[in-house]
Amino acid sequence: MYNQKRLQLFKFCFFVCLLLFFFLFTESRVFGEKSSTSSLYKARFISERTLTRADAERTRTIRKEELFKCFFVFFLKVSLFFTELESYREKRHRIRNLKVNAALLRYIKMQVLQVNARRETGRKAQMQNISAAKAVSDVVRTTLGPRSMLKMILDASGGIVITNDGNAILREIDVTHPAAKSMIELARSQDEEVGDGTTSVIILAGEILHLSIPFLEKDVHPTVIARAFSKALEKAVEIIDAKIAFPLDVENREELLKIVRSSVGTKFTARLGDLVPNLALDAVQTVKTVGPDGKSAEIDIKKFAKVEKIPGGAIEDSTVLKGVMMNKDVCLPGRMLRKIEKPRILLLDCTLEYKKGENQTNVEITKEEDWEVLLKMEEDWIKQQCDIICSFKPDVVITEKGVSDLCCHYLAKANVTAIRRVRKTDNNRIARATGATIIHRLEELQESDIGTGAGLFNVEKIGDEYFTFIVDCDEPKACTIVLRGASKDVLNEVERNLIDAMGVARNILKDPRLLPGGGAVEMAISRELSKFADTVQGAEQLPFRAIGTALEVIPRTLAQNCGANVIRTLTKLRAKHAESPDGENSTFGIDGEKGTIVDMKALGVWEPYEVKAQSLKTAVESACMLLRIDDVVSGLRKKNRDGNPGEVENMTPEEDD
């Protein structure tokens, strides 16, 4: 309001000046035409009396022009002033609108997010992500190598987990920071993909993120750092393929055992000798199927290699069955056979009892005879189903659904053994081991659906429970690993180590290439990347070189966990690799037992190519992903005692640690 009044005042003054100008201009003309008797004329132009009339006219004209110029300049300045004033008012109006819009956007954002939600952006978010990832890697750092430490974890159900397997440890840890959860998913994906290297990938990813802090502090853009890391990863894989990896003969069982033994050497079962490597190798070779081209191999150990844990006995009693074992007994123990040689096996996933309505069914009966007719119809249907089964003369009938008592009676009269309520996974493995086909409707049963590949059907009692064995199959392609041990904790740890060993054996058979262990590969890649980094131009050179430095964390951690002098041992290993420019000493690494520099080829410590390559790719790619996060919104809504949502609880990485 004040600015508008001031503007009106300026406009009024401007018009007054304009009128004054025109008045003076017209008055000067009038004064020039008056007679010389005017006193004002005489006072104003007294010096002109001595001049000629022409000079006087010229002087008056010049003065008029100067006066006109002065008022014209004044007019222009006033016009410019008002123009600038208008533009200033428009600018202030735009700024005021922008401030209002920004305040409105902030208000809308605060309405979208929770009231107490914690939001971190920019450099602070990146530093917190790095701190959380480093904290997760520090948890499993001491579990690397043959001299690794064990972790005792109390799970949510109150059980105790004692292990040094990285994936098993991180699976039981409850974290809230999103970056820490991402690191745990990293270990899970590594375990699902190759079955080993979970600890290495977590340690390596944490070290890469830790070494990226100096670049962020120097205002290097995260995209530049991630691009340099990706180039270093490509170069590292190229170095492995060209200079370090070498092929393996998969028909040589001793070489395969050495590789599986080196992967289990850092586990709890290393003290058991070759028991776990032999079990893993036998299981994988049993499950392996060769494709039509004779080269590609399908090895599905998760579906067709099952681990059965039976407490009691010695752990040396563990074995691999060329077939299937189930925790089941026959339907009629006194009347059905429990041991059959060369059995004919029929597999069903349909019920062998009278079908009941899917929904509630009401039957109205008016006569007593109708009830008897209804029961007779049910018995006739069951008898018809049993006749269809008995016409194909099977020795064993296994179904996923129920079997009625009447059906058991008819099958026992026909000398047929029945087992009911079998798991779907067990039924699939029996079908693969015996060559049978799972039938959905008995009306579609054919002779080719009967499985004849099993050598022995046997039901045995172990402890207080009965177990069914279908073993000695001609071409099993499915197996069961029976583990015996003193306690459930021991059996659980042996199972985890066995699954890792089977994953290593599977990777070797799928891609028969080897790499030296003991940190030799990491040191060789670090040396080659340092040499190649001199050719990288621009801001990407230092992050490229940082990947080589980060890879040294694996031999350094091995030296730490076995109690060796870290600086002296790592310096000797660098010097040993630098002695041969052609890479002849690239197989030298750290002996995890003694902490000395040893040739891994002579020591017999190898790693599968798939495990090492996948570890590098997963660690670098996850580090790049976390570096490119610049906004973190964290907050957990806790439930009150009455079950209703409560306030949002903030969690910082320091509290999460």
Looking at residue 107, its amino acid is Y
Dist CA 280 CA 312 (whole Å): 21
Distance CA 529, CA 235 (A): 7
Q: How far apart are alpha carbons 473 and 482 in whole angstroms?
A: 17
Structure token digits, residue 139: 């948890």
Which residues neighbour 155 within 8 Å (Cβ) at sequence distance 6 or greater?
Answer: 161, 172
Q: Does residue 199 carry a catalytic annotation?
A: yes
Active-site residue, selected from the candidate residues 143, 163, 199, 434: 199
Sign for the pseudo-dihedral over CA of 425, 431, 434, 439: positive
Query: Are 143 and 170 a contacting pair, CB within 8 Å?
Result: no
Q: Which of 165, 196, 395, 591 is catalytic?
A: 165
Question: Which of 551, 550, 549, 570 has its CA nearest to residue 559?
Answer: 570
d(C-alpha 524, C-alpha 244), whole Å: 8
Q: Residue holding tokens 């959860």?
A: 181
Structure tokens given for 379: 């018995």
d(CA 231, CA 535): 12
Rounded to a whole number of angstroms, the distance between the first and last alpha carbons of the chain is 59
To 10 degrees, what angle do helices 541-551 and 222-239 make?
Answer: 50
Which position among 266, 500, 569, 618 bears the catalytic label?
500
The answer to whether 198 touches 165, Cβ cutoff 8 Å, is yes
Question: Is position 582 annotated as part of the catalytic site?
Answer: no
- CA 283 remoteness from chain centre: 29
Burial of 335 (0-12, 13-18, 19+ CB in 10 A): middle
Please count the other Cβ atoms lying within 10 Å of the Cβ belonging to residue 37.
7
- State the burial class of residue 256 (Cβ atoms within 10 Å of its Cβ: 0-12, 13-18, 19+): buried
Residue 39: CB atoms within 10 A of its CB come to 7
Residues 629 and 226 sit within 8 Å (Cβ to Cβ)? no
Length of the chain: 657
Q: How many beta carbons lie within 10 A of that of residue 540, not counting itself?
A: 19
User: What would the two tokens of residue 581 be?
Assistant: 């420019």
Distance CA 316, CA 338 (A): 27
Give catalytic status of residue 426 as yes or no. Answer: no
Q: Catalytic residue among 143, 163, 191, 198, which?
A: 198
Pairing mode, if any, of strands 324-326 and 438-439? unpaired
Q: Which residues contact 389 (CB under 8 A, 6 or more apart)?
A: 346, 397, 411, 414, 416, 442, 445
Distance from CA of residue 476 to its chain's centroid?
Answer: 35
* Contact in structure between 397 and 421 (CB atoms under 8 Å): no
Q: Mark residue 390 as left, alpha or beta (left: phi above 0; alpha: psi -120 to 50; beta: remaining).
A: alpha
Structure-block tokens of residue 60: 């008056």
* Tokens 């659980």, located at residue: 492
CB-CB contact of 442 with 291 (8 Å)? no
For the question of residue 174 being annotated catalytic, the response is no
* Residue numbers annotated as active site: 165, 198-199, 500
